[in-house]
Amino acid sequence: MTKIAELLDQGKTLSFEFFPPKTDKGRDRLRETITELEPLEPSFTSVTYGAGGSTRERTVDAVTELNESDSITVMPHLTCIGHTREELTELVGAYGRQGIQNVLALRGDPPKDAPDMEPGDLERAAELVELVREVGDFSVGVAAHPEGHPLAPDMESDRQHQAAKLKVADFGVTQFFFRVEDYLRFVDEMERRGVETPIIAGVIPITDANQIQRFAAMSGADMPSELVERLDAHADDPDEVRRIGVDVATELSDRLLAEGAPGLHIYTLNRAEAPRAVHENLELVAA
Ligand X SMILES: Cc1cc2nc3c(=O)[nH]c(=O)nc-3n(C[C@H](O)[C@H](O)[C@H](O)COP(=O)(O)OP(=O)(O)OC[C@H]3O[C@@H](n4cnc5c(N)ncnc54)[C@H](O)[C@@H]3O)c2cc1C
The catalytic residues are: 17
56 lines the binding site for ligand X (CB under 6 A): no
Nearer to ligand X, 153 or 260 (CB): 153
| Among 21, 42, 202, 262, interactor with ligand X by CB under 6 A | 202
CA distance 40 to 259: 23
- x/- string (CB under 6 A) for ligand X, residues 155-194? --xx--xx--x-------xxx-------------------
List the one residue from 3, 83, 145, 276 that touches ligand X (CB under 6 A). 145
What is the signed CA dihedral for 96, 45, 42, 40, rounded to 10 degrees? 130
The torsion defined by the Cα of 148, 151, 155 and 161, in degrees rounded to 10, comes to: -80
Helix axes 85-97, 53-67, angle to 10 degrees: 20
Picking from 141, 178, 149, 165, the residue whose alpha carbon sits closest to that of residue 262 is 141
Which residue, 128 or 274, has its beta carbon nearer to ligand X? 128
Q: From the CB of 174, what's the least distance to ligand X, in Å?
A: 6
* Cβ-contact 258, 230 below 8 angstroms: no
Nearer to ligand X, 152 or 184 (CB): 152
Question: Which span sits near ligand X by CB under 6 A: 33-41, 46-54, 132-140, 189-197?
Answer: 46-54
Which residue stretches of 74-154 are H helix? 85-97, 125-135
Contact positions toward ligand X, by CB under 6 A?
A: 48-51, 77, 79, 106-109, 124-125, 143, 145, 149, 152, 157-158, 161-162, 165, 173-175, 202
